Structure 1
Amino acid sequence: MENPKTEQLKRVLKPIHLWAIAVGLVISGEYFGWNYGWKEAGTIGFLVTTLVVTVMYVTFIFSYTELTAAIPHAGGAFAYAYRALGPLGGLIAGYATLVEFLIATPAIALALGSYLHFLHPALPVIESAVFFNVVFVLLNMSGVKESALFSLFITLLAVAELLLFMGIIAPSFTYNNFIANAIPFKWDGIVAALPFAVWLYLAIEGVAMVAEEVKEPNKNIPRGYISALVTLVLLALGVMILTGGITDWRKLSNLDYPLPEAIAIVLGRSSGWTQLFASIGLFGLIASFHGTLLASSRQVFAMARGGYLPAVLSKVNTRFKTPHWAILTGGVISTVTLYTGKTNEIIILSVLGAVVMYIISMISLFILRIKEPALERPFTAPFYPVFPAVALFISAICLVGIIFHNRVISLVFFVILAAFVLLFVLMGKHKTKILDDVMLVKPNTLK
């Protein structure tokens, strides 16, 4: 497989664009999901978990970007693994990536439904989540997507809202509330809470897909990523610490809308600030929802075009230039998932896919450094081999912890993977060349 020509794409993105893309993809993780980690590890234990996962993401992102810049393929991780490990490695990485993004979508949809229910209790959560699914599937199929300016605007709005939230509840914070009833704080709980700490940063790796469109990548990619990571770390720690100190944190550890509920505790449910916060919060969730839906459909499209999924999923609508069958398939999977699992279980399954993809990607990086030392690498992982080794080690711990504490969910994940591998082998595709330059997404192929 020849090294793709990166000059097809115009280098126009600056650090501010990378910041907006990264924070926009991840920002919903600050609004919900992380609080389930309190149930496992308590407030202090979950802080420890979050710091460990933060180190994992810092080292992983800078390592993963080397792969993206060197092999700017539409399929992302499955293309890197294919090049390093062959067709079966590509299949495993592609399946894991699909699970990460396809399953993250319904989790965010449930949060949107829960926020809407908080604002208007007469509106049911599940039906509202399905509504958002249908609307955004139709928007994506018709070619409607956010402009770079709108992405930046909605991300700034979401960040401003979290800063406003912290400003409102900070005067009510007490240290005694934060450390009270910390019975779940134990090492086993810290491991069990790993998926919910990963959720705080899940999908940030999606921004690496635009590495070949960045001006001066060696300088601007680190700036964009560092600014995004610093923003997300400060928001995550600020939101989690302040929220844990305003009341008995156990009241908020099992909700899909912990932040509006926290403001309601401080100011009252009927307060205008409470209603305003929940309303604006929808935009932050929508930004991430749109991003994950878009990313999942493009992953389905790329894998289908590479021969890993039925070819019909790679068809592009002649009018709108969108992969309509891939988008529709993602929407159907998201809707079915809404009715089959709780939010915390859906998050765990999505995170399971993510950590498997992280592990395969880091292994691919090491192999390609040995196998193809002459490969053109516009961006190289700093502190190699320490950064990818640290990312691989912590990802492996996350995987073991998730499997140990969530055996049924893990069994489902690996049984489906085994079925995919078996079918792949029976069809003989593990012996044939699947990917080449033709599989790259050309300019103007998709909107």
Structure 2
Amino acid sequence: MSELKKALSPVHVWAIGVGLVISGEYFGWNLGWGVAGTLGLLIATLIITVLYFTFIFSFTELTTAIPNAGGPFAYALKAFGSWGAIIAGYATLIEFLFATPAIALALGSYMHFLYPSIDVIPAAITGYIIFTLINLLGIQEAAWFSLIMTVLAIAELLLFIGVAAPHFQMSNFLHNPFPFGWAGVFAALPFAIWLFVCLEGIAMVAEEVKDEKWALAKGYISALLTLALLALAVMITVGGITSWEQLSTIDYPLPESIGLILGQNNPLTKLFASVGLFGLIASFHGIIISYSRQMFALARQGYLPASLAKVSSKRQVPYVALLVGAGLGILALLLLDTSKLVILSTIGAVVVYVVSMLTLFRLRKTEPGMNRPFKAPFYPYFPAIAFALALLALLAMVYFYSLLTLLFFGGLLLILLIYRFQKKPTQSSL
């Protein structure tokens, strides 16, 4: 059986979208201060915010026209055939599979902050086990869990801003704000992308959305607006609490900030860190949903082993993909640190964005009569801006993080060679 259950409403879609990304507000972005300073990272974030606004408004056209669990893989398959599909599918898997262990490490770090006797790695592995099991219960149950976690995470961020904002000092934010000049802005792009990365994962649950013309579009756009406002508010607030050097190397900048305001031993500091787990859980849970659907879609089309497309008869979830994805994620967190995981994930993301915008242009040309419930506004300008900024970010990563980009493209080359010399999968209609 390879049918997925349709059970999601626009509110679920919004919750999954925000949930996929909201952990980016809790950690990861602050690593960008180490390469750019506060002002450098803020400029990088504004550039990336423009990228995501133009990209999501353009990408939603593809998602609503081709509602397929494969997401960018399915769109590229329709536009460019198997070779384009492999590139898009590989990049998407790298984006989601490496984002998840980064969040798992942050979960472990938060637990260690709360209870120093708990080690980071065992806590991260335990998180994988728990949330993979929750996803095995079914998409409707998983979506409701995502909705609850997302609402709690947003409430916690608003509480953080309310507590921290009165302690904001411009002198702190402008302390050594641009230490590496414009080079730092480009070096910080992957950490700015981390504030939005995986948002396009909504596409991977498109087959499970109840038939409503605007459901996906409503979910995407409302999620993007929510995340953009929260990202800028959190970044600016934290930057004004203390010098950025104190917060640029840790995986728990928000509870550390509250600790500086209220005192490390204040019960409210511990309570805040406990509540802060909701944001990490929301993203961790949501990305597990997305990477399992991507593996399911690739396997269903014949690009991955067929066993990954198996769906449980009762719950109608891709259980093999869930279990294999968890195994790969645990291996990654054992081998790489948070910074490397973030950069690898964002490399995959910008490749997805480049390929997706090329796909949009091609399908507009080759299939002008395709049913498009939502059309990209200001075409061709929005997708052109998204394409140019994504390509700029990719080139910056190649320059500043050459070994990691070599690892990414080396893996892609290997996948392409394997495909070249194996029996080709049969393309089914999308």
TM over 0.5: yes
Report if aligned partners of 2:76, 2:88 keep a CA contact under 8 Å in 1: yes
CA change 1:148–1:339 in 2 (3 A) is closer
Note the residue ranges of structure 2 that are not aligned, 5 or more in a row.
none
2:108 to 109, 113, 130: 113
Q: 2:159 is matched with which residue?
A: 164
Q: Which residue of 1 aligns with 2:149?
A: 154
Q: Is the 8 A contact 2:255 2:272 kept in 1?
A: yes
User: Does residue 1:425 correspond to 2:420, yes or no?
Assistant: yes
What is the aligned-residue identity percentage? 54
CA distance in 1, matches of 2:278, 2:383: 34
Which range is displaced more, 135-144 or 188-197?
135-144
Partner of 2:278: 283
Task: Write out aligned runs for 1:14-413 (5 A).
Answer: 14=10, 16-143=11-138, 146=141, 148-209=143-204, 213=209, 217=213, 223-318=218-313, 320-413=315-408
Using structure 2 for the length normalisation, give the TM-score.
Answer: 0.94
Q: 1 CA distance for matches of 2:267 and 2:89?
A: 45
CA distance in 1, matches of 2:428, 2:179: 48
Paired position in structure 1 for 2:9:
13
Which ranges in structure 1 are unaligned for 5 or more consecutive residues?
Answer: 1-7, 438-447
Matching residue's letter, 2:379? Y
Contact 1:68 1:209 in 2 (8 A): no
Write the distance in 2 (CA, Å) between the matches of 1:350 and 1:270. 35
**Do the aligned partners of 2:149 and 2:281 also contact (CA within 8 Å) in 1?**
no
User: Quick one: structure 1 residues 261 and 327, their matched pair in 2 at CA, closer, same or farther if it must change by over 3 Å?
Assistant: same
Return the alpha-carbon distance in structure 1 between the equivalents of residues 66 and 140 of structure 2.
25
Q: Note if contact 1:59-1:391 (Cα within 8 Å) is conserved in structure 2.
A: yes
Aligned-pair Cα RMSD in Å: 2.1
Q: For residues 145-167 of structure 1, what are the alpha-carbon distances to aligned partners after superposition, in whole Å with 9 as ceiling and x for unaligned?
A: 64554433322211111111111
Q: Which amino acid aligns with 2:408?
A: F
Kept in 2, the 8 Å contact 1:11–1:215? The answer is: no
Letter in 2 for 1:94: G
1:94-132 deviation digits (Å, cap 9, x = unpaired): 000111111111011001000000000111111110111
1:293-330 C-alpha deviation (Å, 9 max, x unpaired) = 11111111110111101112222334544322211111
Displacement of 1:139 = 3.0
Contact 1:306 1:435 in 2 (8 A): yes
Alpha-carbon separation, structure 2, partners of 1:177 and 1:229: 29
**Worse-superposed segment, 92-101 or 171-180:** 171-180
CA distance in 1, matches of 2:216, 2:303: 31
* 1:215 positional shift: 7.0
In 1, the alpha carbon distance for the partners of 2:217 and 2:291 equals: 25
Task: Give the residue type in structure 1 aligned to 2:130.
Answer: V
Normalising to structure 1: TM-score of the pair?
0.90
Alpha carbons 2:72, 2:352 under 8 Å: kept: yes
The number of residues matched between the two structures is 426
1:195–1:347 Cα contact (<8 Å) kept: yes
Deviation readout 1:388-434 (Å, 9 max, x if unpaired): 101100000011011111111111111111011001010142xx642
* Greater CA drift, 148-157 or 237-246: 148-157
The yes-or-no answer on 1:435 pairing with 2:428 is yes
CA contact (8 A) 2:36 2:179 kept: yes
Per-residue deviation at 1:172? 1.7
